[in-house]
Amino acid sequence: GAHVDAGSATDFDLDLVCDPQTSGGLLLSVDRASRDRVAKVLLDAGCHPHPIGEVVAGEGRVRLRS
């Protein structure tokens, strides 16, 4: 859409990003100051958190980087 900049992502990359079978994990938005504490809670619960990005001020677009 108008708010997505796919950059050099291929059609396969886009299908992978948008496929509910591969994007069914739990996504959390956590304040940077709480990141380590939240990661520890998740690890202690047997989960494996993986930071994937950050929210920054801007024009409200999604940019994919590969």
Signed CA dihedral, 52, 25, 41, 55: sign only: positive
Query: To the nearest whole number, what is the mean pLDDT of the chain?
Result: 81
How far apart CA 12 and CA 46 sit, in angstroms, is 31
In the predicted model, is pLDDT for residue 59 greater than 70?
A: yes
For residue 63, how many other CB atoms are within 10 A of its CB? 12
pLDDT tens column, 23-43:
566 778 899 899 999 999 999
